[in-house]
Structure 1
Amino acid sequence: MNGETRGVFSARTGTASHRALAHGRELLRDGPVTDACSTLLRAAAELRETDPPAARRALLAAASAAWAAGDRDSYRRVFTAGPCHVCGADRASTLCAEGCPESAWRTHCVGMSAVVEGDFRCALAVLEPRLDQVATRAETHELRTAGEVALLLGRLPTARRLLSLALASARSTGAEAAAPGIIAHLAYAELREGRHPQAHAHAEEGLVLARGLGQRNVAADLSAVCALVMSIAGDLPTVRARVADIRAVAQPHGLAQAAFLAEWAQARAELGAGKAERAAARLAPLVRPGARQGHFGLWFLAVPCFVEACVLSDRALDATEMVDLFAGWAELGADPQAPAQLARCRALVAPADRSEELYRGALAHHERAPGPYEHARTHLAFGMWLRRRRRPTEARTQLRDALLGFERCGAALWAERAGAELRAAGEVTGTGEAGPLSSLTPQQVRIARDVARGATNREIAAALSISVRTVEYHLRNVFAQLGVRSRTGLAHLLANVGEDRDRTEPEPG
């Protein structure tokens, strides 16, 4: 083959490879993500010699596809660099010689390989200095990549800053196709930091853009963020409907990340609604080691929810092993919330003589990390623990803090739960009952309303952290005082009470 023929062949190959890169990106946004990963890896291999920058873009997109699919092996393969063809560095763990034009990419590969293996100390040492060097005027893809790295490393304020800059860059340069994906990462960073209202606003904005551009995979990721916000702010049926929409795309396209976040959202909504047994059963296969375990890079985020659900449904033994596994994640230092969550989990499963110390330790950890929602969760769990031990004055202090914390971060579902616990601890919160319910204690009112909503005695017991026998005792007293003989009769009575209240409510103005 002469020089001219080689040139023509190279040009044709380059054109085909660039088409493969474009097709892989399209599949990543709207198609089976395993196909996207294979297409992009092939494009990267073909472009390595002729267009190294395009090859690196293909590899980064392949990594995104592998992450979306929950494919750890492919994700690892992306960052397992071979010998550097410029300076001769011979292993993936070897940085390039000083001044080598491939140095930045190889450094990225070394750091990301450490992330995959859970060596966050190495990852931070290699990657964190580069995050501070990203210029404000960097290219959109550079800002986005740096923001995603910061998110993986748990540097959430840095992630928000870089992703915000990436979004501004995409919009100023007319790269609208990139905007929904950037917004998805930005919303997720806000969610991880406990900024639920901001995360919801960004996710809804991104959804409009993604749907308009036909990016169903990105829309599924954004819907998952919305579902997680709704799981603490809305009602269970709304969350279920959103989760069903996510599954409709996630299952055929192999979106493991979106599917995992959706299941976690539904379990969290079930836990908030007092359905602890359902939440524990839903999360068990996702967090436990084994073939069915959820996304390799996310499963640990749902462990605190699983532990609490197990404890509230009298399955504390199921949670103990998971607390030890979560401790391994917390010690890596990649999640600012993890130390406080770990202490709370340990308090939930510990003997009574150790729980109080652990709860107070968890609250001390919360003071050193952002996240009002998780902070309020610990106040609530501690307040419930104190109330069960007949320490109502101390319980009310914790429960008031929980109520205020949930209100501040828009967690309406959990604020309602904290308010009910506060009333059960003997505090009037400005929502006193009138009519036939006025003769009941706060505990009896909550049980009556839960029964009327269709909750079982076991679900009520789990939500209130009392025994089923205690629920039955209170329910007999409720029936006697209200003059009803069945759960159906109680539901009918409370429905009529609600209608009477609506008819007598003064009209605004």
Structure 2
Amino acid sequence: MTGRTNVPQSPPPQSPPPRSPSPRSRRPHGRSAELAALATLLDLPGADPPVLVLTGDPGLGRTALMAWAADSFTAGPVLRVRASPAESALPLSGAHALRCAADGLPEGRTVGSPDAGTTPEWLLRSLIAAAAGAPLLVCVDDAHLWDAPSRAALGFAARRLPAAGPVRLLLTVAGQHAAHADFAALPVLTLGPLPSSAMDALLDGTACGPVDPAVRAELLDEAQGNPALLRALVAGLSPAELSGEHRLPWPLADAEALRTVAGAHLTGYSAAVGELLLLVAAAHEHDPEGVGADADLVRGAAARLDPARTALGSDRLPDVLVLSDGRFRFTSPLIRRAVHVCAPPDRRRAAHRALASVLESEGYGLVALLHRAWSIAGHAPPLADQLSAAAADPRVAASRAQRSAAYARAAELTADGRERAEHLTSAAGQALLAGRAQLARRLVGRVRDSALPAVVRGRSAWVRGILTLRDGPAADAGEALLLAHSLLAADDPGHALLAGLAAAEAAWATGDSVACLRALNAADRTAVTTVRPVTAVSARRLGHGRAVAARPTAVAAAARASLARPVARVGVPPSADPAADPGGLPRDYLHGMRAMLERDFGGAIPRLRRVVEHAWEEDGPERLLWSGAAALLLGDVPAACRIGARTLAAARSRGPEASVPRALELLAYAELRTGQHARARTHAEDGLRTAYRYGQSNVAAHHHAVLALAASIADESTLVAHHADAALATARRHGLLQAATLAEWASGRADLGRGRPFEAAARLAPLVRPGPDGGHFAVRMLVMPCYVEAAVLAGQREDAHAVVEEFALWAHFGADVQAPAQLARCRALVADADRADALYEDALSLHAQAGGDFEQARTQLLYGKWLRRRRRLREAGGCLRAALVAFERCGARIWADQACAELRANGTAPAAARAGALEGLTPQQLRIARCVAEGATNREVALRLAVSTRTVDYHLRKVFAVLGVRSRVELSRMVEQTDRNGTCPA
């Protein structure tokens, strides 16, 4: 064992001078919580408890954190000891190493020498004596490697160190040893994988030179949050490989990289134990992300391997293995990978051969074939044919990940270039369905033969297109999918149809309505010979460019498809084969959507209704996504909610796993449209997690946008900004105009809710603008009611009036049950006083028929404001109280605050709302004071409260006099302080 002492060279015994932090100390990436826990331990005096155990998988940075703690401890000396496996069998070697490390302590402060008769209390007494009343930090790295007597003494001392004493003890222990009896009852901090942002920063600091974005994604996916593994991977790559000039090696994490990170945990075992570990690791290979290796399978295979049988017969399992619920499991997935990859090839093949024999005897078809294939070196075309046939057979019980592994292994066993490409493409398709996007990219990236048949190149292009559609520039995805369509049209018309529909989805995401129709027409060419081309007239009908202003009816027709995202969710890799009936459901969906975009409602509605009706007979998530999109196209939002829930259930029960984030997106958006903001938020949060897990950043952007919209009705400005910024970051990078429009809408609606109409109008105006410079063509209609309200409150009535007339066309189609009531409300906002009253009443009547607390409450709030300004205080109070109750019921806190403020101005607020430092102000003065505190000018306050600027000046002088303040800054501070004390904001 070795020791290192960080101590001052000549301090007096009782008062060592503080040490400066080492210039070599470097703050570990992404460990804020862990560093805070260490800071608490190092904070003298009185850290409770005075000991901490750092544990975790190999490579996660236990030693780095200990080094940071040692370098950061400036209150006194530090004793550092790193254990060595070579000395773990020597009695009291750990205690002797600590004694040697203490030689550098000031005179009179030392750790005594233990002997064979030493009791565990010896170390506790020695540490307290060595501290001599002054601060002392003791760090033991890999304490589990100490000999048994030394570990017992260390654990005894750690459990009995006084909290108020001067000694602090920091230990690191491998994950499998954290529950050891010697460390029982000690506080443990378990290190998890680093977050992606920290790994990204670590990669930038590790690589010498530029890193290609695709290479970066593969490295981060392979490292799985392990910093040491990431460093090992980077060290094994050349600058040309890092920059993307040369193809990355396969596999990326080879034996050398894994041995660098976990090699220390593979030593010290007997040959028999090593054979058992390899057998268990090999048994994991057909289900690497499962719950473990079946114990009966391992025992059966061990019976064919004498060393493994001997190890199983011993009384105790190796410390890296646990047995629970009939399954063997490694304590660390990284150690399992290292055991399998670092083993000699002949031993590895023997383990798979033994497993294959057991599985074949028990009738496990594909899994048995996989292990048999892993037991063979070189090419074996007959076995490759068996593997691919079993992987393609839906009657064979196997997961998509197992089918992907079978296709990939078949490719390795095949010498023929065409067959190899076909197997790799199928493997990539199955990996994509299993939600393993990075693996799918690696597999399809190995298909690079331009001489391949068109159908093989078409399916490869399809997989690449779908991968890019989920995580990449949508326009690039559209081109790849159109290429796939053209290559597949002759030999595989069913999948060519799906490729065309997926290209339409990509165009829809970018907001290019003309390209969307072009892709639909291309998809239709696979079965019909006469196709209407996208002419200039068709483009004008779609509302593209300035033609929208001339033909607003066409815009409203296009906007009828208000759920832009799931409208064309059809990109499924070839292996899923959802196009078994190319003349049925997919065809109805294609024709229905195209007819809707072209204003042919007589042709669109019957077809889309058939697609919706199919939902109650289907259990495939992809087909259900079409049905849900059709329901939204028809304006049947309640049906879309039910279909979304059914799609989610189907995706979770039968897969594919990659469909779960999109099913949650459909459900969350449908719930948002019905005003169920809390439920939409729950499903979008779940969808966000799964989208990132499966490498679908474009889907994640839409979940961020939904979460921003859900948060925009509550007093959660930070959350709105976070989700909106996250959605916009991906949307701008990948050209997702729809996600960008939804995110900007959320920010504008939050501004409007907080009573900031000028900011809201400025943010929403571009979203309702027609043409390519405006918002998404199918979302802009949904934004219009918010913009009209903001524009009127900001004094931009003429701009609002023009938008109302276009919104009227949308409302008349009936695709949105809230639109008629919203239209009446918008007309009331821009109407003369003699007409507004009746229009508000009409709006409330229509809301009563359509339902939806939030939109109805917004109308009641605006009507209450209008009534109050006309001194109809009793009627205003009724509307405002109803609005307040509805806002509170649906969780719209910032809108409830507005209703509360209006009630106070109306003189009908509860007495409790008047408490605080501002209680001496009249309701109107209080409203003006709060507006000024938010930074509004007198003119902006006048427009917001519908009074003259002179009135604002008069009341503001009164406010200053009553409160005794002399500036707007002092007023803002007083309002902020009053609100912090719990008053009802106005």
Q: TM-score, normalised by structure 1?
A: 0.90
**Contact in 2 for aligned 1:419/1:429 (Cα 8 Å):** no
Match in the other structure for 1:77: 518
Deviation readout 1:152-173 (Å, 9 max, x if unpaired): 2211111111121111111112
The match for 1:158 among 636, 639, 642 is: 639
Match in the other structure for 1:385: 866
Counterparts in 2 of 1:234 and 1:118: CA distance versus 1, 3 Å: farther
Asked if residue 35 in structure 1 is aligned to residue 476 in structure 2, the reply is yes
The match for 1:54 among 495, 517, 533 is: 495
Give the letter aligned to residue 486 of structure 1: S
**Contact in 1 for aligned 2:589/2:611 (Cα 8 Å):** no
**Contact in 1 for aligned 2:501/2:590 (Cα 8 Å):** no
Match in the other structure for 1:484: 965
Deviation readout 1:401-438 (Å, 9 max, x if unpaired): 11111112111111111111111111123542334422
Shift, 1:107, TM fit: 3.0
Unmatched runs of 5 consecutive residues or more in structure 1: 1-5, 94-99, 505-509
State the Cα RMSD in Å: 2.5
Match in the other structure for 2:554: none
Counterparts in 2 of 1:323 and 1:43: CA distance versus 1, 3 Å: same
Match in the other structure for 1:454: 935
Distance in 2, matches of 1:340 and 1:59, equals: 38
Match in the other structure for 1:97: none
Distance in 2, matches of 1:84 and 1:144, equals: 23
**Contact in 2 for aligned 1:20/1:39 (Cα 8 Å):** yes
Deviation readout 1:338-363 (Å, 9 max, x if unpaired): 11111110000011100011111111
Shift, 1:468, TM fit: 3.2
Give the letter aligned to residue 509 of structure 2: A
**Contact in 2 for aligned 1:83/1:92 (Cα 8 Å):** no
Shift, 1:110, TM fit: 2.4
Distance in 1, matches of 2:706 and 2:833, equals: 36
**Contact in 2 for aligned 1:82/1:90 (Cα 8 Å):** no
Distance in 2, matches of 1:16 and 1:80, equals: 22
Counterparts in 2 of 1:59 and 1:234: CA distance versus 1, 3 Å: farther
Distance in 1, matches of 2:601 and 2:891, equals: 32
Match in the other structure for 1:194: 675
SS of the aligned residue for 2:692 comes to helix
Give the letter aligned to residue 69 of structure 1: T
Counterparts in 2 of 1:363 and 1:495: CA distance versus 1, 3 Å: closer
Match in the other structure for 1:406: 887
**More strand per residue:** 2
- The more displaced of 34-43 and 241-250 is 241-250
- The more displaced of 461-470 and 219-228 is 461-470
**Contact in 1 for aligned 2:500/2:522 (Cα 8 Å):** no
Shift, 1:395, TM fit: 0.6
Give the letter aligned to residue 406 of structure 1: F
Shift, 1:84, TM fit: 6.5
Match in the other structure for 2:505: 64
Counterparts in 2 of 1:491 and 1:263: CA distance versus 1, 3 Å: same
Give the letter aligned to residue 266 of structure 1: S
Give the letter aligned to residue 29 of structure 1: R
The match for 2:746 among 252, 265, 275 is: 265
How many residue pairs get matched?
490
Counterparts in 2 of 1:10 and 1:171: CA distance versus 1, 3 Å: farther
Counterparts in 2 of 1:30 and 1:323: CA distance versus 1, 3 Å: same
Counterparts in 2 of 1:254 and 1:407: CA distance versus 1, 3 Å: same
Match in the other structure for 2:945: 464
Distance in 1, matches of 2:977 and 2:834, equals: 46
Shift, 1:304, TM fit: 0.7
**Contact in 1 for aligned 2:614/2:627 (Cα 8 Å):** no
Distance in 2, matches of 1:467 and 1:120, equals: 49
The match for 1:26 among 446, 455, 467 is: 467
| 1:93-492 aligned within 5 A | 102-120=583-601, 122-429=603-910, 431-492=912-973
Distance in 2, matches of 1:82 and 1:20, equals: 15
**Contact in 1 for aligned 2:596/2:604 (Cα 8 Å):** yes
Counterparts in 2 of 1:277 and 1:186: CA distance versus 1, 3 Å: same
Tell which has more relative contact order, 1 or 2 (C-alpha 8 A, sep 6+): 1
Give the letter aligned to residue 589 of structure 2: H
Shift, 1:200, TM fit: 0.7
Distance in 1, matches of 2:466 and 2:523, equals: 24
Deviation readout 1:15-68 (Å, 9 max, x if unpaired): 221121111111111100000111112212222232233223222222221111
- The more displaced of 277-286 and 31-40 is 277-286
Counterparts in 2 of 1:228 and 1:497: CA distance versus 1, 3 Å: closer
Structure with higher Rg: it is 2
**Contact in 1 for aligned 2:681/2:710 (Cα 8 Å):** yes
Distance in 2, matches of 1:329 and 1:142, equals: 28
Shift, 1:103, TM fit: 4.8
Distance in 2, matches of 1:429 and 1:68, equals: 48
Distance in 2, matches of 1:91 and 1:77, equals: 10
Counterparts in 2 of 1:468 and 1:149: CA distance versus 1, 3 Å: farther
SS of the aligned residue for 1:331 comes to helix
SS of the aligned residue for 1:21 comes to helix
SS of the aligned residue for 1:432 comes to helix
**Contact in 1 for aligned 2:497/2:523 (Cα 8 Å):** no
Unmatched runs of 5 consecutive residues or more in structure 2: 1-417, 423-449, 534-580
- The more displaced of 433-442 and 383-392 is 433-442
How many percent of aligned residue pairs carry the same amino acid? 49
Give the letter aligned to residue 47 of structure 1: L
Counterparts in 2 of 1:262 and 1:432: CA distance versus 1, 3 Å: same
**Contact in 2 for aligned 1:250/1:258 (Cα 8 Å):** yes
**Contact in 2 for aligned 1:304/1:341 (Cα 8 Å):** yes
Counterparts in 2 of 1:252 and 1:54: CA distance versus 1, 3 Å: same
Counterparts in 2 of 1:83 and 1:144: CA distance versus 1, 3 Å: closer
Give the letter aligned to residue 493 of structure 2: P
**More helix per residue:** 1
Distance in 1, matches of 2:667 and 2:653, equals: 17
Deviation readout 1:170-224 (Å, 9 max, x if unpaired): 1112322111122112111111111110111111111111122221111110000
Distance in 1, matches of 2:524 and 2:815, equals: 30
